[in-house]
Amino acid sequence: MKKTILYLVLAVTGLVSACNTVDEKTEATVDEATEATADTAVTFQNDNAPDSAADGTIVDVDASGDADWNNLDIATETWEMFKVGDLEVRSNEDYSVYSLDENILFDTDKAVIRKGAEEDLKEISNSIAERSKNGAVRVYGYTDARGSAGYNKQLAEQRAEAVKNWLVKNGNINASRISVHPVGEAKPTATNETAKGRQQNRRVEIAVRNS
């Protein structure tokens, strides 16, 4: 009888310990997701989907309420209207994304659009007019990881704002269609350990919802 009671006590103790372990893991997971804030642009991710939470739902990185915009990892295409090497274009039936390197648009640490970039921006404006009559347009600003995160995000915002202003003034796109999204250093496309990688990370992307 004593052995039976002892076994029951051990079993209950083991069950309580397991529950506590599960609770601790759950609490840690919730804390991690809570800390993934738009301010730091940290995304709570799983290993299989870079813009998905652990439960498979898409994370709204910039807290805009439109999480589907974060799923823009579309295959790169070559469009004859653009000069090779000037920019990357990605598109599917829902979105078109135009990615321009910093060295096309801006001088180092500056947010004033170069004269030489205007031809590319005109071509992008024409393409947007053809593919999207009234669809929303987002301008994302990205930097490398040098400098503070705050400075990088501020520079990213200034550059994205400069591109938005150009599209409104010269591209005949209504300002109400365009929103600015400074990402800063948070989503690099290449390593920040090399000059070449940092150059790739300094970019502006114009994403358009096709309509």
Least confident of 33-42, 119-128, 175-184, 186-195: 33-42
pLDDT reported for residue 56: 39
| pLDDT of 38 over the 50 cut | no
State the Cα–Cα distance between residues 108 and 133, nearest whole angstrom: 34
97-130: pLDDT as tens digits? 999 999 899 998 999 999 989 988 999 999 999 8
pLDDT reported for residue 91: 83
Select the more confidently predicted residue: 24 or 71. Answer: 71
| pLDDT of 95 over the 80 cut | yes
Residue 21 CB contacts under 8 Å (≥ 6 apart), including other chains? none
Average pLDDT on 58-65 reads 44
Helices marked H in 59-117 — which ranges?
A: 102-105
pLDDT reported for residue 149: 92
CATH T-level assignment (fold) for domain 72-209: 60s Ribosomal Protein L30; Chain: A; (3.30.1330)
State the Cα–Cα distance between residues 91 and 188, nearest whole angstrom: 20
| Pairing of β 137-142 and β 178-184 | parallel
Query: Which tokens in the block code for residue 100?
Result: 């321009």
pLDDT reported for residue 93: 83
Taking Cα atoms as reference points, which of 77, 64, 202 lies closest to residue 138?
64
122-153: pLDDT as tens digits? 999 999 998 898 999 999 999 999 999 999 99
State the Cα–Cα distance between residues 163 and 204, nearest whole angstrom: 8
pLDDT reported for residue 29: 40
pLDDT reported for residue 191: 92
Give residue 67's pLDDT band: very low, low, confident or very high (50, 70, 90): low
State the Cα–Cα distance between residues 72 and 210, nearest whole angstrom: 13
pTM above 0.85, yes or no: no
Q: Strands of the chain (E only): list them.
A: 76-77, 87-91, 95-101, 137-142, 178-184, 203-209
Contact 94, 172 (CB under 8 A): no
Sheet holding 76-77, edge to edge: 76-77, 87-91, 95-101, 203-209, 137-142, 178-184
Alpha carbons within 13 A on the beta-carbon side of 101: 14
Alpha carbons within 13 A on the beta-carbon side of 134: 0
Give residue 75's pLDDT band: very low, low, confident or very high (50, 70, 90): low
